[in-house]
Chains A and B, each alone.
Chain A
Amino acid sequence: MLSLWLRRLSTDRIARLREKSREQSAPLVVAGKRNNVEVLTAVDDAAERLGLLPGLTLAQARAMHPDIEAAPEDIDADAVLIESIADWCLRYTPLVACNTPDGLLLDISGCAHLYGGEHELVADLGSRLEDAGFAYSLAIAGTIGAAWAVSHHGKPASYACGEERALLTPLPLSALRLPPATIAGLARVGLKCIGDIVDLPRAPLTARFGPEVLRQLDRALGHEHEPLTPRLPVAPYAAEQRFAEPIAREEDVLAITERLARRLQFALERRGDGARRIELSLFRTDGVVRRIAAGTSRPLRNPGEIRALFVERLTALADVLDPGFGFDMARLSVVVAEPAPPEQIGIAGGEDAAELCRLVDRFSARLGARRVCRLAAQDSHIPELAEAALPAQAVNVDAGWDAFRRYRKEIELSPRPLRLLSRPEPIEAVAEVPDGPPLRFRWRRALHEVIAAEGPERIEGVWWSEHGGPARDYFRVEDKSGLRFWLFRAGLYRDLPQGAAAPSWFLHGTFA
């Protein structure tokens, strides 16, 4: 377990935005409001040398050193920064967790040898962080608790495997990730470092200071398991490639995608899986990570088809790809995998469906999955809810229309419009008799004289719900020029309370 602590996250963030000449500039502090007082929340190395520490009020600090430079606190920007660093750390291991507000936890078991060992991995990580202008301290230990304790309080970059006890004993109690009140309470009875409580009888300690103290101690010592919650779900299949020379051209990215897909194909075939969602992560040399995802409508293994999907994705965001100085690593991961039957070749029916799936996938990759729809019948009698346009990649072939056709035959449903407005539009209508069809109506400023009408077809509202809306009387009407509309009156006259306004009319669709 590797714990990374970015000691000066806030000040480094501000310093990175400025010119590189930090030596000459004034000590930097970050201040934020605590209890209505401006308090220092972070300081840089120069300020700390002057004796300024987080927790001091800004007024006091200014009085001590008038030449310091104070910047306002920005918690959101810090969070965004730590998340982008977490993304960047995915190059070392897929298991990265954010340890708010300024730390990261990396599970590097089984990954270190890819860099030639833990020392080499730490050296690589450290040099890259230093180049990016971050002050850090990191530690590797057998447990999360021990790694955290050492990285925050111990000698930075000291490694320990299985010797947590010796490592932790000299450290102060604040290394146990306990609330400040508990630490203060322990200090009052003379318990200052971890060594003081390791061998104490457990029952009185728990009785006095709560179960949290011993739980954290057990976790740090490895007696109790502490799960790591990775920031991103771990992909079941992934393949990656590092480049000696950064790549930037789109063709190179596509070629590497296909090569990685070919590697994944073997793994997928062996387990009988296919990819439903694939993600390509491109690690830029300056630390930015681009993640491009593409979905498929059926489990996919063929590298050529995966490449074709990313061709569309890259075309769709050609200007957003922005390779900068180039990508030095690429990873292709199958985020969602599904069992897929072994490929069959040459059966005509299957080929037909596959061809359409490929088309749908290409559309979805280029235009976005929600723009490519299939209609699905829904369980509702309200016309606008009776069917939904669902992403074509997600809908299975039948989508409830057989049931709809049976229902339609059974109740002899009256004709439905060919085009339905997504929400009914209010119209001004004049009816001859209150319950009858309108004589004329005005829709989008045009007056339509009704010459023929059919109806009403009464569609009840969702009366069992509070937000169901009134019952509707639908009419099919035809105007003088032959245009046919589907109108309805929202609300029935018989339900109207005394003195209420007349029900309003809406236009809902048009017929051929």
Chain B
Amino acid sequence: MIAQLRQRLLALQRAPGLRKGPGTLPLGIPAIDTMLGDGLMRGALHEISAPGEAHLAAVTGFALGLAALSAPSPRLVLIAEDMALAESGALHGAGLDAFGLAPERLVMVAVAHRRDLLWAMEEALRCRTVNAVIGEIRCGGIDSVAARRLSYAAAESGALALLLRASPSNDASTAATRWIVGTARSVGTHGPGAPRISAQLIRNRRGPVGSWILEWSDSDGQFILATLAQPVAAPTLDRPHRQVA
């Protein structure tokens, strides 16, 4: 009897986004997928920060790469604050095309206030036909209530919710994963190559974290693990594999 009640309590207490539901989104890179538990969780909030404002393009690229995986031809909603669009530039359709995304399936929303951004993200997540919702915050944080609302909204619809930040933050959040993504040096000096980023998983509700260098592969239409010209230390796991209750 007690055990049964405990079970029910556990089921109720489960953090949003971790319940059984929409499933996962494999990145196609075994090293990362096993760490995430079969891939990035759908129907959950993921936070991607840039180490500095200049790396925002890499963050955008990573987010778009993830969004491109979410459906065969995904419908995206991108919500950004006016200031972010003015400072870092708006999405360029021709560049979007290179990530295998169709510009005509993107809706861009510019908002003046943070509360509008959160409202718009939530509304977009509740829309059944949207596959991925990307919100961009330039500075400051969002309160944990808002983050939890986003997580619940994503869990209900099964869409991918990505929150981009221009600088990393430590505030509490219900995000399923947290990444710090910056640009990585291209190989050789023959000119800049394909989009290449260093992705650092700093928080993973399903267990271990790590860091990788990824390169966008046009032919595969996904990120692949980059082969490095210089030898680097193997990515280490700084936490033992841990099951979340």
On A, residues with C-beta under 8 Å from B are: 352-353, 355-356, 358-360, 362-363, 366-367, 371-375, 377, 383, 386-387, 389, 392, 397-399, 401, 404-405, 408, 413, 415-422, 446, 451-454, 476-478, 480-484, 509-512
B197 touches A392 (CB 8 A): no
From A510, which residue of chain B is reached at the shortest CB distance? Answer: B57
CA distance A477 to B190 in the complex (A): 11
The reply to whether B93 and A387 form a contact with Cβ atoms under 8 Å apart is: yes
User: In the complex, which residues of chain A have a beta carbon less than 8 angstroms from the beta carbon of B184?
Assistant: 482
Contacting residues of chain B (40-98) with chain A, CB-CB under 8 angstroms: 54-58, 60-62, 64, 75, 77, 85-86, 88-98
On B, residues with C-beta under 8 Å from A are 54-58, 60-62, 64, 75, 77, 85-86, 88-99, 102-104, 106-112, 116, 119-120, 123-124, 127-130, 182-186, 188-192, 195-198, 216
A504 to chain B, nearest CB (A): 19
In the complex, the answer to whether B192 meets A477 with C-beta atoms within 8 Å is yes
Q: Which residues of B contact A399 (CB under 8 A)?
A: 103-104
Known contacts A392-B107, A420-B92: A359-B97 contact under CB 8 Å: no
Residue contact B104 to A374, C-beta cutoff 8 Å: yes
For the residues of B in contact with A, the DSSP-based class is: mixed
Q: How far is the CA of A387 from the CA of B93 in the complex (A)?
A: 7
Task: With both chains docked as a complex, state the minimum distance between the C-beta of B240 and any C-beta of chain A, in angstroms.
Answer: 31
Return B92 CB to nearest CB of chain A, in Å.
4
The minimal Cβ–Cβ distance linking B13 to chain A, given in whole angstroms, is 32
Q: How far is the CA of A377 from the CA of B94 in the complex (A)?
A: 9
Residues in A with CB closer than 8 Å to B128 are 352, 355
Docked complex Cα distance between A420 and B175 (Å): 29
Question: Could you jot down 21 A-B contacts, CB within 8 Å?
Answer: A356-B127, A360-B107, A367-B111, A367-B116, A373-B110, A375-B93, A415-B98, A418-B61, A419-B88, A420-B92, A422-B89, A451-B185, A452-B190, A452-B192, A454-B192, A478-B191, A481-B183, A482-B186, A510-B89, A511-B57, A512-B99
Residues of B within 8 Å of A408, CB to CB, are 94, 97
Known: A356-B130, A373-B110, A478-B186. A511 touches B103 (CB 8 A): no
CB pair A509–B92 under 8 Å, yes or no, is: yes
Taking CB atoms, residues of chain A closer than 8 Å to B94 are 383, 386-387, 404, 408, 413, 416
Q: Is the CB of A374 within 8 A of B192?
A: no
Is B92's CB under 8 angstroms from A476's CB? no
Find out whether the CB atom of B191 lies under 8 angstroms from the CB atom of A419: no
Which of these, B103, B120, B192, B197, contacts A367 with CB under 8 Å? B120
Cβ–Cβ contact B103 & A375, under 8 A: yes
Instruction: Check A375–B104 contact: CB distance below 8 A.
Output: yes
Contacts of B85 in A (CB 8 A): 422
Residues in A with CB closer than 8 Å to B91 are 375, 418-420
Q: Is the CB of A482 within 8 A of B182?
A: yes
A419 touches B95 (CB 8 A): yes
Closest 3 CB pairs of A and B: A512-B61, A454-B191, A416-B94
Instruction: Check B127–A419 contact: CB distance below 8 A.
Output: no
Q: Contacts A356-B127, A510-B56, A512-B60: A478 and B185 contacting too (C-beta < 8 A)?
A: yes
Assess A421 versus B89: contact at CB under 8 Å? Given A375-B108, A451-B189: yes
The answer to whether B192 and A478 have CB atoms under 8 Å apart is yes
- B85–chain A nearest beta-carbon distance, Å: 8
What B residues does A355 contact at CB under 8 A?
A: 127-129
Inside 8 A of B55's CB, which chain A residues have their CB?
483
Q: B107 → chain A, closest Cβ, in Å?
A: 6
Tell me the minimal C-beta distance from A59 to chain B in angstroms. Answer: 54
CB closest residue in chain A, given B84: A419
Bound: A499/B110 CA distance, A: 45
Residues on the A chain within 8 Å of B109, using CB: 363, 367, 371-373
CB of A362 within 8 A of CB of B123, answer yes
The one of A371, A375, A419 in contact with B106, judged by C-beta atoms closer than 8 angstroms, is: A375
Contact A363 B123 (CB under 8 A): yes
Once the chains are docked, how many angstroms separate the CA of A234 from the CA of B73? Answer: 43
Chain A residues whose CB sits within 8 angstroms of the CB of B189 once the complex forms: 451-452
Cα–Cα distance between A476 and B194 once the two chains are bound (Å): 12
In the complex, the chain B residue whose C-beta lies closest to that of A421 is: B89
Assembly CA distance A389 to B182 (angstroms): 27
- List B contacts of A392 (CB < 8 A): 107
> Would you call B97 and A512 a contact (CB within 8 A)?
no
Q: With both chains docked as a complex, state the minimum distance between the C-beta of B66 and any C-beta of chain A, in angstroms.
A: 12
Q: Which residue on chain B has the smallest CB distance to residue A419?
A: B89
The listed residue (A377, A446, A480) touching B93 by CB distance below 8 A is A377
Question: Hey, which chain A residues are within 8 Å of B188, CB to CB?
Answer: 452
**A405–B97 contact, CB under 8 A?**
yes
Q: Inside 8 A of A398's CB, which chain B residues have their CB?
A: 104
Other 15 A-B pairs with CB < 8 A, given A372-B108, A416-B92, A482-B184: A356-B129, A358-B127, A371-B111, A374-B107, A375-B91, A377-B103, A383-B92, A387-B103, A418-B61, A419-B95, A452-B186, A478-B186, A483-B183, A510-B56, A512-B61
Name A402's closest neighbour in chain B (CB-CB). B104
Q: How far is the CA of A478 from the CA of B191 in the complex (A)?
A: 7
